[in-house]
Every structure is written in C-alpha cells, then in structure tokens.
Amino acid sequence: MEKPKLSDNFFLNRWQSMGYAFKGFFYLIRNEKAIQVHFSMSLIFIVLGFVFQLSFYEWLFQILALGLILSIEGLNTAVEEICDFIHPDFHDKIGKIKDISAGAVTFAALTGYISLILIYSSKIIALS
C-alpha cells in the first residue's frame, strides 16, 4: 500500500490531514463497540443537559468529561490495533500493554462519569 501524498501547500496539507482524522472519527463510531457505548452515553447526557438546563460552566465540564472519555477510548483502540498488528499471537508483554492502555481508559471513565454524577446530583438536590 502506497503512502498517500499530502499537498505541499500548508492549508491544503492541514485540510487533507483533517480529512484523515475525520475518517478515523467515523471509523471509531461505526466499528468500535466501546466507543459506541460512550458515544450513546454522550448523546443521552446531551439530552439530559437540555432537560436539566445546565449552566454555561456545567455544559463546559460535561463536554470536557465526555470528550476525555471518548478520546482516551479512541487512543486505547489505536493501541490495541498496533498490538494486534505487531504481534498477533498471545504474548505476556502485549497483554500488559493492552491492560495498561485499558487502565488509562478506566482513569478517564472514572474521572469523566464521576464529574457528570456530581453535576447531575447537584441539580437533583437543587430541585428537591
């Protein structure tokens, strides 16, 4: 497979790179189950954001929390792909790399979802 040739023009070059990035974005949404779960959760939280009429800063934290989870999950998928490409067979080291990468997702998911729980629990408390 040949490496795609990017333009020498700075702006065209950046535009083409963005095209590849969006290709990856849609690949993740179409094919990766973990991303599909977090993406669906994100859509649910966006709807909840309107229902609970989040403030500017609550929206900001919600967007950052969801973006954190989705981006780390996407990077985890990339690590898994690299692992399976460079060493398709079972190997302790590959297992450790995948576990560490999944551990990073756990950090992001805990941080992100706990932030969201804090936002919505404060909203629910304010309502009652």
Ligand X SMILES: Nc1ncnc2c1ncn2[C@@H]1O[C@H](COP(=O)(O)OP(=O)(O)OP(=O)(O)O)[C@@H](O)[C@H]1O
- List, as residue ranges, the binding site for ATP: 20, 32, 80, 98-99
**Which string of x and - marks every residue 41-80 that binds ligand X (by CB under 6 A)?**
---------------------------------------x
Q: How far is the CB of 74 from ligand X (least distance, A)?
A: 10
SS3 (DSSP) at 100: helix
Q: How far is the CB of 5 from ligand X (least distance, A)?
A: 32
Q: For the chain, where are the alpha helices, taking DSSP H only?
A: 10-31, 33-51, 56-86, 92-127
CA–CA separation, 15 and 13 (whole Å): 5
Phi then psi for residue 55, to 5 deg, are -80, 175
What residue ranges bind ligand X (CB under 6 A)?
34, 80, 90-91, 94-95, 98-99, 102
